[in-house]
Structure 1
């Protein structure tokens, strides 16, 4: 007898992984099951954090297929702050030990986290400088608006020549600013018109409308003493109005909304019979784009690159039983993946990433293995 998705979620709520969890399983035939456990209702609007990255990647690739952007053109046309970059002679060099960069930053570099900007996981002068000017990434919301943020980031040198290394996160903040300038307006409005409304993603955006704030759950963190609340339900940074331009920030969404996005990817970039993302661009998105020389031990956490690649806004498994599976997670305990057969899964909690949440992801992915099928969700949950 196989274990159902609901049993897995109930077990994790009981053991204290999260106060509430939403699970989604999508089958290749288009059917979708949404399952809830604990105190997180199916229509909760949650902070998806880095699950924003695949959405921004699709938005950028749609501009590529429309001819408004090209993957290998320098982005300084729209982001003059990034012209004439300086690069550290070594990633751990003093902040003033620099030389002129010889390679311009391109859209491809942003989509693949190879721009030269990103999280510094190893202590260094650059890491300290990023903390000092408030551009270091963490679980806290962004500390300044998009124009101030990109100016502060541009004041720092690159960790490496664009394309030659890999660092997480900041490339996608830059991508958000780039997209807002290419469309010459609000990035949120562009995403709504170009992607969210066509896909029926009615509750996805950079903030939760005040009248819907009751649907935003508390954010939590595991500590030695148990779960603690780090942001209250229905309040805080994610509730409208936005304090400043959030083009470099991250989205909120729902299980139904993100399932619509995942289903579009899983069905070859199509929605309701229409092409949303060109098959060749989708193939590039889900193909490892990072050279082996850039997959260094200091680029991310230990073991990340074992059987893993990074395409455009998503990671993929390059070996093993689930080779070809791709997707990504978010720091507030969210995750999604798409299998080569067109099935997909989503897990949503509002607990910061850690061993407990990673264990939840692993358990759900085992239940959602293509060999198991959507029948392992409870009957009537579609």
Structure 2
């Protein structure tokens, strides 16, 4: 079979050929079919179109949709206090300034709500600059990183709740941890793990057979290796068909991140786009910037993040330029998706961590 000469398939083939990634899966269009290229690992077996990838932060949109469905069912509201189900967060305290000592705090002005979780404005999140809070998060195993959480859900929540917030709820945007809290919130409301709740309410009805918090051993042969980047070299972090995600985890991972396939995630995106999962009002809110300008500290995330983008519910939204109105997000293990206002969807799944090595691939795919 000859190699495609244009389009998403050719794009991925070219980045596999030059060694940027060992392999991956890509799709682009209104109802696209995924195309696989390359291998499951360096020198390994061919990459199948239904390979099961560690989608990491692409999980955020799925848990967001699950939460909004509970809102529509009357189980909670956007401004519900999450301490109703997460009593560990009933009396948060806030650092007097981001670099203050952990004892230099004031009471929170308001409770943490579901809206705060969906918009990354709970006051919990990644701390990029050296500070007592950053060191405390590293010491307590609550710091975000490329590997799965070291603590089970309840222990992680207890450790995180023992630390002060970096800013007042609703007034500061910090990435990531709000969605770990959201997963535990789904678990507490449903009385099951987040994985069981998502399986019953989203994955099974949509036919997303290969999406979950772990890969069953009988399908582990479809799990690619995971690679970090050190200098110009790819360094294996988890082997193909092995590692933490194979078989049920030892603890509840409701605060963790999912694995999925291109066919599964495309099915989810199409259902969301077509109004099958949440009502039009919530879909519009999800895909518009929901973060107050005063909460957008340029130093709180990657340089330039706020220049052309905003944050809706669980996704980044493009604020201007030729892709204005696009929403989507990436996963730290080398994955990305988007949905355009005209209904075009795009997805690319690789096994190389997010960073400079795969940035050209993601930029080119975003311009298809």
TM-score interval for Structure 1 and Structure 2 normalised by the shorter chain: over 0.9
Structure 2 residue aligned with 1:239, among 246, 259, 263? 246
RMSD: 1.2
Distance 1:224 1:205 in 2: 32
TM-score of the two chains, using structure 1 as the length reference: 0.92
**Corresponding residue number in structure 1 for 2:44:** none
1:186 CA drift (Å): 2.2
Q: 2:100 aligns with which of 76, 93, 102?
A: 93
In the other structure, the counterpart of 1:364 is 365
**1:296 and 2:318 aligned:** no
For 1:333, the equivalent position in structure 2 comes to 334
**Any conservation in 2 of the 1:56–1:176 contact (CA below 8 Å)?**
yes
Partner of 1:69: 76
CA contact (8 A) 1:26 1:263 kept: no
Show the counterpart of 1:249.
256
The answer to whether the Cα contact below 8 Å between 1:25 and 1:343 also exists between their aligned partners in 2 is yes
CA distance in 1, matches of 2:186, 2:149: 18
> Hey, what's the Cα distance between the residues in 2 that align with 1:84 and 1:266?
38
Aligned-pair distance for 1:122? 1.5
Q: How many residues align?
A: 358
SS of the counterpart of 1:9? helix
Q: How far apart, CA to CA, are the structure 2 residues paired with 1:36 and 1:140?
A: 25
Indicate the SS of the match to 1:227: strand
TM-fit CA distance, 1:2: 8.2
Question: What's the offset of the Cα at 1:3?
Answer: 3.0
Partner of residue 315, structure 2: 314
- Higher mean C-alpha deviation, range 331-340 or range 121-130: 121-130
Q: Distance in 2 between matches of 1:93 and 1:356?
A: 35
Change (3 A) 1:130 1:66: same
2:235 & 2:217 partners in 1: Cα distance?
24
User: 8 Å contact 1:266–1:343 — kept in the other structure?
Assistant: no
Residue equivalent to 1:375: none
1:342 is matched with: 343
Q: Structure 1: which 5+ runs fail to align?
A: 271-275, 368-382
Tell me the residue number matched to 1:9.
12
Counterpart in the other structure of 1:34: 34
Q: State the Cα distance separating 1:149 from its structure 2 match.
A: 0.2
DSSP 3-state at the match of 2:201: helix
- Tell me the residue number matched to 1:153: 160
What aligned pairs does 1:253-272 form with structure 2 within 5 A after superposition? Answer: 253-267=260-274, 269-270=275-276
Write the distance in 2 (CA, Å) between the matches of 1:281 and 1:56: 14
Q: Which residue of structure 2 lines up, in the alignment, with residue 217 of structure 1?
A: 224
Alignment of 1:20-169 (within 5 A): 20-27=23-30, 31-39=31-39, 40-169=47-176
Distance 1:2 1:312 in 2: 37
**1:355 is paired with a residue of what secondary structure?**
coil
- TM-score, length-scaled by structure 2: 0.95
**Which stretches in structure 2 are left out of the alignment for 5+ residues?**
40-46
Q: Is the 1:266–1:339 Cα contact (8 Å) retained in structure 2?
A: no
CA deviations on 1:261-307 (whole Å, 9 max, x unpaired) are 1111222x22xxxxx21111111111100011111122211101011
Structure 1 residue 17 displacement after superposition? 1.3
- 1:225 deviates by 4.4
Cα distance between partner residues in 1 of 2:192 and 2:199? 12
Q: How much has 1:222 moved relative to structure 2?
A: 2.0
Q: Whole-Å Cα distance in 1 between the matches of residues 34 and 319 of structure 2?
A: 28
